[in-house]
Structure 1
Amino acid sequence: MLVGMNWILLSLVSATLLGVYDAAKKWSVQANAVPVVLLVCVSIGASLYLPLVLWSTFWADSIPLDRFVVRPLSWNEHGLIASKSVLVGASWTFAFSALKHLPLSIAAPIRATSPFWTIVIAILFFGERPAPLQWAGIGIVLIGFWRFTLVGRREGIRFTRNRWVAMMTMATLLGACSSIYDKWLLQKAGFDPVTMQAWFTIDLVPVMVPLAVWWYRFDAPVASAAGRAKGPSQPFQWRWSIALVSPLLILADWFYFVALSDPEALVSVVSVVRRSSVVIALGFGAKALSEANFRAKSACVAVILLGVVLLTWHG
């Protein structure tokens, strides 16, 4: 049924799911142990895909839709997928850690600048030369980002000195690299979406295990004589939002990968539409989390999205 759907429509569905995913992620990491949250999230994702991998391995002919068959891979192909898992794992570690300490209405717009970084990477490493409209888009994104620094100061967040802003920016930069790598894997290396996503999700588990082990060994709170947890970090608390993080991302990524696998799809446009999820995150931060300066942040988001549209106009 999805074969004939327009890749822009698929991107819009992905954006909606991604916005809800951002909200669930923020709710999960608040006053919680980030390394364990990450490991639980990726383990839930892997448990959802493992049955499909086993089904495809032993009874592939019984799967009703060919689109859902996970193909066997060579060791070299597994290495390519594992590289994506390491890249995304690093991005998630930075993003989850920053999201714990930043308002969602600050963190999500920083992530929305991902297409800007994609263009910057293309200029610096692939010799691309932006068109005049794209240069205008770069300037507008920078203006919007600068306006965000002014709004952030009202909440005591100085963008040039705040390590959580730096970590979210690094997560966004790594995410932009992942977007470029996704296009190569899907359109050049020949991976189909479900195979790429299934093995990437499973490979994330061993990527996240060392961080969780380090937290348990060196940073986990210990019980005091009074029975209360004491230590440099916060204890892990189970929340149902944690169970939603991976399913939401899997669905969002699946629609994204299917859209991106269309030969007519433009990665820059797909990336922009996907980043419109910031609108949902902004609304959730204002209504559910009672975050401040909603109107000022909304204006900044509008400027950033305008710049991002111009960045992709040439494509």
Structure 2
Amino acid sequence: MWLLLAFTSAFLLGFYDVFKKRSLKDNAVLPVLFLNTLFSSLIFLPFIICSAMGQEWISNTIFYVPVEGWEVHKYVLLKSVIVLSSWIFGYFGMKHLPLTIVGPINATRPVMVLVGAMLVFGERLNLYQWIGVLLAVASFFMLSRSGKKEGIDFKSNKWIFFIVMAALTGAISGLYDKYLMKQFNPMLIQSWYNVYQLFIMGGVLMLLWWPKRKETTPFRWHWSIILISIFLGAADFVYFYALSYDDSMISIVSMVRRSSVIVSFIFGAMFFREKNLKSKAIDLILVLIGMIFLYLGSK
């Protein structure tokens, strides 16, 4: 069941990347990210309020948010800081790079999670799963060659560095999620970490963007900004419940989630008219074959 939830999360995450790319086109990054945290908080705020008021209709559902003190919320706050760091790197990188480059790079994030899962949680992979991981690593190196055709040098391009840092902090977040889901209610984590992110991002916006807003890229509203929050909220909701299963493996869940690259790649080719699709398609095929081996290894 947890594997099916992971694939569902991946599908939703693909659309999240597409709407994020559309929202960032010729737009100021920090206001878009702030609005993402705002709308995400508004989605979950009713569940927090209704749960705190003790309303019966929510008490026995998966949407119930337990009332906890600082001993629990300090872990949620740390989760917010980690995720927001990943988002800031990722949003800036995605704005300046083709979606067909960003997607496959993000697809290699589970390799970092794998190393951490083996060291921290003692997870072990079988032969099929190792094949899937090695194919993902190979796709990253092949992608660097595809990027050079567009003048993107993986060694010196700072936006590549941003995407890699987003992947690294995202991997740390994934490992932390595994720990949190074994300790606390999934709805508590998802709802409150969005709220904390709103306040943190509000401070970042006022300190870094607002004073220089007239000197940088202007902010333009687009309807796709709302869809970022909707699809991310749905993807994370399914993801957290996948991790709540006792037999779930974060190394596998994280890898499966990266199959979202299929959706983002298709939209990058059809709607954003990105280049060098043939060579990038080979990288994508390697990722997909890796996903198949991971699926076979987890049965």
Q: Partners of 2:244 and 2:122 in 1: how far apart?
A: 24
CA distance in 1, matches of 2:278, 2:3: 28
The alpha carbon displacement at 1:127 in A equals: 7.7
Of 236, 257, 262, which residue of structure 1 is paired with 2:219? 236
Q: Percent identity?
A: 37
Whole-angstrom distance in 1 between the partners of 2:211 and 2:288: 41
- Give deviations 1:213-242, integer Å, cap 9, x for gaps: 133344311xxxxxxxxx2x1011000000
Question: How far does residue 31 in structure 1 lie from its aligned partner after superposition?
Answer: 1.1
**Secondary structure in 2 aligned to 1:253?**
helix
The CA distance in 1 between the partners of 2:121 and 2:253, in whole Å, is 20
Report whether the alignment pairs 1:198 with 2:191.
yes
SS of the equivalent of 1:59 reads coil
Report deviation, 1:8.
1.9
In structure 1, distance between residues paired with 2:251 and 2:117: 11
Write the distance in 1 (CA, Å) between the matches of 2:173 and 2:296. 21
Map 1:287-298 onto structure 2 (within 5 A).
Answer: 287-298=270-281
Structure-1 residue corresponding to 2:258 = 275
Alpha-carbon deviation of 1:169?
0.6
Question: Which residue of structure 1 aligns with residue 29 of structure 2?
Answer: 34
Match of 1:3 in 2: none
Per-residue CA distance 1:140-188 (angstroms, 9 max, x = gap)? 333211111110011110111111011101101111111111110011x
1:199-219 residue CA offsets vs partner (Å, 9 max, x unmatched): 111111122123211333443
**Structure-1 residue corresponding to 2:14:** 19
**Would you say 1:78 and 2:61 are equivalent positions?**
no
Deviations 1:60-85 (A, max 9, x none): 32327421111001101100000000
Q: Which residue of 1 aligns with 2:172?
A: 177
Q: Distance in 2 between matches of 1:197 and 1:106?
A: 29
CA RMSD of aligned residues (A): 2.1
The aligned amino acid for 2:247 is E
In 2, distance between residues paired with 1:7 and 1:132? 21
1:197 maps to a residue whose letter is Q
Q: Residue 129 and residue 266 in structure 1: after superposition, are their counterparts in 2 closer, same or farther (change >3 A)?
A: closer
User: TM (normalized to structure 1)?
Assistant: 0.88
SS at match of 2:55: helix
Distance 1:200 1:296, change over 3 A: same
Matched, 1:259 2:242: yes
The residue number in structure 1 matching 2:44 is 49
In the alignment, residue 22 of structure 1 is paired with which amino acid?
D
Task: Give the superposition deviation at 1:86.
Answer: 0.2
Alpha-carbon spacing, 1:123–1:186, altered in 2? closer, same or farther (3 Å): closer
Tell me, in whole angstroms, the C-alpha distance in 2 between the residues paired with 1:104 and 1:265: 30
1:67 aligns with 2:50: no
The residue that corresponds to 1:215 in the other structure is 208
For 1:266 and 1:138, the matched residues in 2 are separated by 14
Alpha-carbon separation, structure 2, partners of 1:270 and 1:131: 15
Aligned partners of 2:36 and 2:226 also within 8 Å: yes
Greater CA drift, 125-134 or 145-154: 125-134
